[in-house]
Amino acid sequence: MEEDFVEKILLGASVFRDERSLFPEFLPQKLPRREKEISRLATDFRPLIQKKGSFAINVAITGTAGVGKTAVARYCGKHIENAAKKKGVAIKFIPYNAHTFRTKTSILRNLLTDHFNVTARGFSDEEILGMLVKRLEKDDMRLIVALDEANLLGSDEILSIIHASEVFGIERSRISTIIICRRTEWRAILNAPLSGHIHDQINIPGYTRSELVDILTYRAQLAFNPGVISEEIIEMVAEIASQTQNARHGIEILLRAGKMADYEHFSEINAEMVRRAKVGVYPELRPDVLDDLNDHELLTALGLARRLKHHGITATTINEAYKYYQIACEEKGVRAQSMSAFRKYVNHLDSVGIIGKAVGPLGRGRRGRRARITFYDLPATVLEERVLRILELNNKK
């Protein structure tokens, strides 16, 4: 009986034609309203296809969350490979996300092992680079490595990847890079040595309401069956997402509203579903991420939110944030933990994507560099409200 019930759900009607086209990792066949940025990136890399010889091209793509940085890089990388093949030039585009590959070493080992089938275990970075360059020369191939969330690597690691081929001579440079980073974090890690190796920086702006309507209309056509979603509903979602200028925000609302329609056996998405979907969606922060934090991690997030909100600053330091954590603990009648424990809480918030850390200059007139903490395009007021709500619920348990 239960098997029949489950099969009825699995084989039953759905509002979706292709649900996957609303997933974050999905790369559509076209990117509406990003033609200008795609054209510029393609122009930057055109010399790899048109000119002979070995050289590297390094481009940075910056912008806030959900504006298409990663999609532009992946879309262009795919077409660079195809165009190069038509010209008899071998180019391989390989994307990496620094949330998964946190060091230059892990990237180099994966490059050699997974993409060139050469064992990298037991070799130093320099030895791996030597093997990689020799393999690229043997295959007469050029490599374009996309480094997403590159600020997590830091400027030194990025530079070492850029310098990779140069170790063996400029004329043997076959490794180009596309560095993808939020604008705030990019400014934090950008220094003179790194800046000197960047051939172009493409700053992608947020989407306007009309641009979001075009994007959401296209994605809805891919994702839903005919008649499931009206123009008015798409306009409504675009209006919500226009507040953040974040297309991913709107796309996730479409996905969640569609799932609600399926759960409740509706054949259309209505305005109430959109309103309910909006509550559970905020770009860069899944609701369950906060639910999984312990009290001191929540108090750390609360202290950071208040530090950044009250002073209108974009980033802060561990020492500055610790004072606000102590105040938050005092308000809640909790004993504040040590600075070393606080650092662990901050590192955990970084690992789950609530905050970001980057090494940047101390400030005007001050020498040296220090880790700076910021939020990934998440308003401090939103985080403060959600943390306080969870702490209140935890106290009632």
Residue ranges making up the domain that contains 300: 287-396
pLDDT tens, residue by residue, 268-300: 999 999 988 887 776 555 556 788 899 999 999
Measured distance CA(282)–CA(143) in Å, rounded: 36
Q: How confident is the model at residue 354 (pLDDT cuts 50, 70, 90)?
A: confident
Bridge partners of residue 199, in order along the sequence: none
Query: Quick one: 191 and 295 in the same domain?
Result: no
Query: Quick one: 157 and 212 in the same domain?
Result: no
Query: Quick one: 270 and 322 in the same domain?
Result: no
Token pair, residue 322, equals 């610790």
Q: Where does 6-89 show beta strands of DSSP type E?
A: 58-62
Query: Quick one: 59 and 98 in the same domain?
Result: yes
- Report if residue 1 sits inside a domain: no
Q: How confident is the model at residue 377 (pLDDT cuts 50, 70, 90)?
A: low
Give the mean model confidence (pLDDT) for residues 175-200. Answer: 90
Residues 6+ apart with CB under 8 A from 5: none
- Confidence (pLDDT) at 362: 44
- Report if residue 221 sits inside a domain: yes
- Report if residue 2 sits inside a domain: no
Measured distance CA(46)–CA(51) in Å, rounded: 8
pLDDT tens, residue by residue, 42-60: 999 999 998 666 688 999 9
Query: Quick one: 258 and 109 in the same domain?
Result: no
Percent of the chain with pLDDT strictly greater than 90: 56
- Report if residue 85 sits inside a domain: yes
The DSSP bridge pattern shows strands 58-62 and 175-181 to be: parallel
Give the mean model confidence (pLDDT) for residues 24-36. Answer: 95
Q: Tokens 């901050």 belong to which residue?
A: 346
Q: Where does the chain show beta strands of DSSP type E?
A: 58-62, 90-97, 141-148, 175-181, 200-203, 355-363, 366-375
Measured distance CA(361)–CA(183) in Å, rounded: 16
Higher pLDDT, 317 or 59: 59
- Confidence (pLDDT) at 358: 62
Measured distance CA(286)–CA(313) in Å, rounded: 24
Above 60 in pLDDT, residue 372?
A: yes
- Report if residue 29 sits inside a domain: no
- Report if residue 355 sits inside a domain: yes
**Residue at which a domain ends, from 143, 168, 203:** 203
Residues 233/271, Cβ–Cβ less than 8 Å: yes
- Confidence (pLDDT) at 363: 46
- Confidence (pLDDT) at 283: 52
As a whole number of Å, the end-to-end CA separation of the chain is 38
The DSSP bridge pattern shows strands 175-181 and 366-375 to be: unpaired
Above 60 in pLDDT, residue 172?
A: yes
Average pLDDT, the chain: 87
Measured distance CA(4)–CA(8) in Å, rounded: 6
Residues 96/107, Cβ–Cβ less than 8 Å: yes
- Report if residue 169 sits inside a domain: yes
Collapsing DSSP to helix, strand or coil, 397 comes out as: coil
Q: How many domains does the chain have?
A: 3
Query: Quick one: 53 and 154 in the same domain?
Result: yes
CATH number at residue 332: 1.10.10.10
**Residue at which a domain ends, from 162, 186, 203:** 203
Query: Quick one: 47 and 176 in the same domain?
Result: yes
pLDDT tens, residue by residue, 218-256: 999 999 999 999 999 999 999 989 888 899 999 999 999
Q: With b meaning 16 or more CB within 10 Å and e meaning fewer, what string describes 81-97?
A: eebbeeeebebbbeebe
One-letter amino acid for residue 49 of the chain: I
Give the mean model confidence (pLDDT) for residues 3-12. Answer: 80
- Report if residue 308 sits inside a domain: yes
Bridge partners of residue 59, in order along the sequence: 178, 200
Q: How confident is the model at residue 80 (pLDDT cuts 50, 70, 90)?
A: very high
Query: Quick one: 157 and 75 in the same domain?
Result: yes
CATH number at residue 166: 3.40.50.300
- Confidence (pLDDT) at 291: 82
Query: Quick one: 157 and 84 in the same domain?
Result: yes
Query: Quick one: 114 and 40 in the same domain?
Result: yes
- Confidence (pLDDT) at 367: 46
Query: Quick one: 352 and 374 in the same domain?
Result: yes
| Dihedral in degrees, nearest 10, Cα atoms 281, 282, 283, 286 | -70
CATH number at residue 11: 1.10.8.60
**Residue at which a domain ends, from 279, 299, 321:** 279
Token pair, residue 110, equals 């994966």
Higher pLDDT, 285 or 384: 384
Query: Quick one: 266 and 373 in the same domain?
Result: no
- Confidence (pLDDT) at 287: 56
Token pair, residue 319, equals 């020492």
Collapsing DSSP to helix, strand or coil, 147 comes out as: strand
Question: What are φ and ψ of residue 176, in 5° steps?
Answer: -100, 160
Give the mean model confidence (pLDDT) for residues 291-310. Answer: 90
